[in-house]
Structure 1
Amino acid sequence: MDEAELIKMIPHVVRSSTKKVWIDYDEEADVLYVSFVYPPNAIEHEEDEDGIIRNYDKEGKLTGLTIIAAKRFTEEAAA
C-alpha cells in the first residue's frame, strides 16, 4: 500500500467511533477480515447479499467485518 492509499483512509478512521482496527487479508481466499476488538469475540454473524459478513458479540455490538471476494472493491477491479 502506498502513501496515497493510506491518506485516503484517514477520513474514515477519524469519523469512526472505533479508533483501533486490526486488518488481515487472506490473498489466496480473497477474504478481508477487519476487527474492531482484539481478540475477535464474535458469536453472531449476519451476511448480506454482497458477501459482507457483520460479526457481533453477545451484547449485539459490531466487532468486525469479513469481506468475501475483497478484490472486487479495488480500483483495479473497477477498471
Structure 2
Amino acid sequence: MAEEVKKIVDAIPVLLEFPTGRFHVDYDREADVLYISFERLQKATDTEVTDEGILLRFRDDKLVGITILNASRFKVKV
C-alpha cells in the first residue's frame, strides 16, 4: 500500500500543472488507453491526432479531452 501511495504523491506536481482544476482520468489496461477528460461529458465535435498517437478532443475550439493510445510507453524508467 505504501508504494501505491508514493506513486500517487509523486504525481501531484504534474497534476497541479494541468490546464484545468477539474479533470477525470480513466485507464483501460487491457487496451492500454488513457482517457483524460476536462469536462465530465466531453461531447467533442472534432478530434486531432498527433504523431505520438494522442487524440486531442475538441468541442468547437475548446480542448475537452485527451486520449492517449499505447499509454504504457510513457512510463517513467527507474
Q: Which category describes the TM-score, using the shorter chain as reference length?
A: 0.7 to 0.9
Q: Kindly tell me the number of residue pairs found equivalent between the two proteins.
A: 76
Which of 46, 55, 58 aligns to 1:56? It is 58
> One-letter code of the match for 2:10?
K
Task: Report the Cα offset of residue 57 of structure 1.
Answer: 0.8
User: Where do 5+ consecutive residues of structure 1 fail to align?
Assistant: none
Could you tell me which residue of structure 2 aligns to residue 4 of structure 1? 6
Q: TM-score, normalised by structure 2?
A: 0.83
**Structure 2: distance between partners of 1:74 and 1:14:** 19
Percent identity between the two aligned chains: 34
> One-letter code of the match for 1:31?
V
User: How do 1:1-79 and structure 2 match up within 5 A?
Assistant: 2-58=4-60, 60-75=61-76, 78=77
SS in 2 for 1:2: helix
User: Where do 5+ consecutive residues of structure 2 fail to align?
Assistant: none
Cα RMSD (Å) of the superposition?
A: 1.7
Stretch moving more, 41-50 or 10-19: 10-19
Q: TM-score, normalised by structure 1?
A: 0.82
